[in-house]
Each structure stands twice: as structure tokens, then as C-alpha cells.
Amino acid sequence: MAAVQLRNIRKAYTRDHYVIPGLDLDIEPGEFMVFVGPSGCGKSTLLRMIAGLEDITEGDLHIAGTLANDVHASRRGIAMVFQSYALYPHMSVYDNMAFALKLAKTSPEEIDTRVMRAAQILQITHLLQRKPKALSGGQRQRVAIGRAIVREPKVFLFDEPLSNLDAALRLQMRVELAKLHQELGTTMIYVTHDQVEAMTLGDRIAVFNAGRIEQIGTPLALYHAPRNLFVAGFLGSPRMNLLPCTLDQSSPQGARVNLVGHHVATRRDAAGQAPGAALTLGIRPEHLSVVAGPQPGAIAARVDLVEHLGDVLLGYVEIDGIDQIVTVKLQHELPLGATVYLLCDANACHLFDADGHALPLLES
């Protein structure tokens, strides 16, 4: 178990453009840290800098308390699992896993014990003599993880390890990774594009945008209290509805906003905002409820499309005056084209100011 500390880490590939313009991050020993963010925001770059595959332009990287900037990748006590598996095609599964130990001049008995134990954990004992090209995608990924395990690293680095697998296998491997983390208790840093992986695996999630961390916290904290528009829109599937509105009235009970003529009550503190200020109302699909008839506070909408996702029923509705589709989690089927009335749960409404910062929730 080891802590990883990043102090003002910067990365530039070309002289004047910083891909990562300065980043601080503390990862606790044994923590499962997930990096998410849009494509090209620098997640892989950061992971590769921690691994020692990419130079750190500026700043300090500490692994287990020691400055690791100039330590060779093989001596940082890390192991990395790549999206493409990156197995050695000319070596058997056994040799793939034993390679690092052989290079480190570990005794053959010790190599054998470690490889066998890792193979057992991952249930690939029967594959040990095969070459990678004779394995399925899921089996290859297990071998790649096995190769990381045998080195008994202080920190595991994963760069989208499951994204080449089909949905069923991804689920299975996700569960196994969670178990693996429980068993080994090793610090893990995990890059993913998958919302579910991020929410279920992470002790904490760091949301990246353009080389910066927008917010970092437990999955539920990020989900329920996004600090800004970016995080609110990025986490959650289906996405949070983000609707432009203006401030109607600020009161100690919470701000009331004007959404194309409808008044929507929230529990947000808009004391710093002038009446009429442009805001963004954020509300997740599960916090909108559909009522049959018009009633105070309910917003009329027209049903555009209903999607059955098995366990969930999603309605896509249009509100006059708002030129985007609003997503609602439905309890029961609705006829297309029908007019429905939506109620917002005041406790679950988010408000963002013109700069995209979330307005604080009022204590009750």
C-alpha cells in the first residue's frame, strides 16, 4: 500500500502548450482512484507520467513518500494494464507473467509460486502454455492483469482496461477487479470512460477537463453535489437536464427561478445573485415526476419518445420555449404526443451561475 502525491505537476509536449497545466492530487494508500473525463483531456498522459513512461515537465511526483520523478519506470513499484493488453505475442502466458521477475533475476521457484498464485486468482491456470493469439479478449485481459499482479506492485495503473470487451464480459471483469482490490488492498488508479465502472469501482473519482481536475470526491458526492456545470453534465447516465432560466426571487427558503414562464422552487442559496440573473437549472431525470393534470408548479410538456431500457423507462419530452429535449425517468408508459405535467423535486434541483459554479444547498 502506498500513497501517490502529485504536486503542481505540469506536462508540455510542445514548448508553449501545456496538456496538463498544473495539477495537485493526493491518493491515499489502498485507495481505488478513478479518473474520468472527455477524450483528450490528459488522463492517459497523467497515468503515463505516474508510470514513468512520460517525462514530467514540472512538478513533483511522490510514490510511497519518495520523490519518483527521475526513478525508472521499473523501479517505481508500479504495474500498468493497458487498453490494448500489450501482451508479448511471442511468449506464452506463463512467460508473459514471468518476464518481469526473470529480468529482476528472481529465483525460478519464486517465479513459479508467484505466477501460479496469480493464475489461480484469475483462473487462467489452464491457459499458461498458450500464446496470446490463442486467447479471447477477456482471457488476454486477465493475463495482462496477471502480469501486473505477479510483480506485487505498490500501485496498479489501469488505462481503460475493459473498454475492448463486450458488455457481459465487462461486467464480469468489473466485479472481479473490485474483488481483486478488496483482496490485495493495493492502491489503484483507474482511467475509464464508463460511467458505471467509475461509480461502482471508485473510492473516489477525479473528473478531468482539459488537463485540470474539475472535482474530486466519492462517487455519490460527485453525483449529488457536482461543483460545477461540467461535472454535473459529465457524470450520470442519462445526463442531468441543464436548462437555462433566470432568477425570480431569492429567499431564505431557497431561490425560485423562472423557467420560460414557469416558477420552479429550489433549495439553493442565490443570495449573491441579482434578480433576473441568468442561471442554469440542473435536474436529473429521476428527480422529475410526471403528474396527470395541471397543478401549481407543474410544467406542461409533450412526449416525444419513450425508451424501454429493461429496468428503466425513459421519456423524452419537449417544453414550449425550451429548445432542448428533457429526459424524465417514467414510472409507466406514456402515449407519444401526449401532454404531461412535470414536477421538479425542489431538494434535488441544482442551480449554476453564469460562470457554471454550483450555488450552495441551503441547510434545512
Partner 1 sequence: MFKRILLSWTPRYTLLALVGLFTTFPFLWTLSTALGDSGNIYAFPPQLLPSDPTLAHLDEARRAIPLDRFFWNSVWIAGWTVIGTLLISSLAGYALAVMKFRGSKWVFLAVLTTLILPSELNFIVNFITVTQMKLTNTHAGVVLPLLANAFGIFLLKQAFEEIPAEILDAARIDGASEWQLFLRVALPLATPSLAALGIFTLVATWNAYIWPAVVLQSPDEFPLAVGVLYLSGTFAAKTRVVAAGTVLTILPVLLLFLLAQRYFMRGLDGAVK
Q: Which residues bind Mg ion (CB under 5 A)?
A: 44
* CA distance linking residue 53 with residue 174, whole number of Å: 26
Residues that bind partner 1 (CB under 8 A): 48, 51-53, 73-75, 78-80, 82-84, 86-90, 99-100, 103-104, 147, 151
Smaller CB distance to Mg ion: residue 44 or 266? 44
Alpha-carbon span 87 to 122, nearest angstrom: 16
Candidates 32-40, 199-207, 244-252, 318-326: pick the segment binding ligand ATP (CB under 6 A): 32-40
Alpha carbon distance 261, 244 (integer Å): 12
Output 19-23 pairs: Cβ under 8 A, ≥24 positions apart: 19/45, 19/211, 20/45, 20/46, 20/49, 20/211, 20/212, 21/211, 21/212, 22/59, 22/212, 23/59, 23/211, 23/212, 23/213
User: Which residue in this structure is represented by grid cell 508540455?
Assistant: 12
The one of Mg ion, ligand ATP, partner 1, none whose footprint includes residue 147, by CB under 5 to 8 A per kind, is partner 1
Of residues 36 and 188, the one with the C-beta less far from ligand ATP: 36
Q: Where does this chain touch ligand ATP (CB under 6 A) — which range of 33-41, 237-245, 291-299, 337-345?
A: 33-41
- Residue 112: C-alpha distances to residues 59, 147, 151 (Å): 40, 13, 12
Q: Does 207 bind ligand ATP (CB under 6 A)?
A: no
Among 45, 125, 200, 289, binds ligand ATP (CB under 6 A): 45
Work out how close the CB of 303 gets to partner 1 at its nearest, in angstroms, rounded to a whole number. Answer: 47
Q: Count of CB atoms within 10 A of residue 260's CB? A: 13
Peptide bond into 238 cis (omega under 30): yes
Grid coordinates of 171: 461486467
Can you tell me which of 6, 27, 32, 44 binds ligand ATP, judged by CB under 6 A?
44
Q: Does the footprint of ligand ATP cover residue 39 (CB under 6 A)? A: yes
Picked from partner 1, Mg ion, ligand ATP, none, the partner binding residue 178 (CB below 5 to 8 A depending on kind) is: none
Q: Which residue is nearest to Mg ion (CB)?
A: 44
Q: Is 192 in the site for ligand ATP (CB under 6 A)?
A: no
CB of 44 to Mg ion, least distance (A): 3
**Which residues lie across from 6 on neighbouring strands?**
25, 61
Report the site for ligand ATP in 117-146 (rule: CB under 6 A): none
Q: H or E element: which one contains 189?
A: strand 187-191
Tell me which residue of 110, 91, 177 sits closest to 150, measured CA to CA. Answer: 110
Q: Nearest distance from residue 283's CB to partner 1, in Å? A: 42
Interacting span for ligand ATP (CB under 6 A) from 37-45, 239-247, 284-292, 333-341: 37-45
Least distance to partner 1 from the beta carbon of 154, Å?
13
Residue with cell 508500479: 78
- What residue ranges bind ligand ATP (CB under 6 A)? 13, 19, 37, 39-45
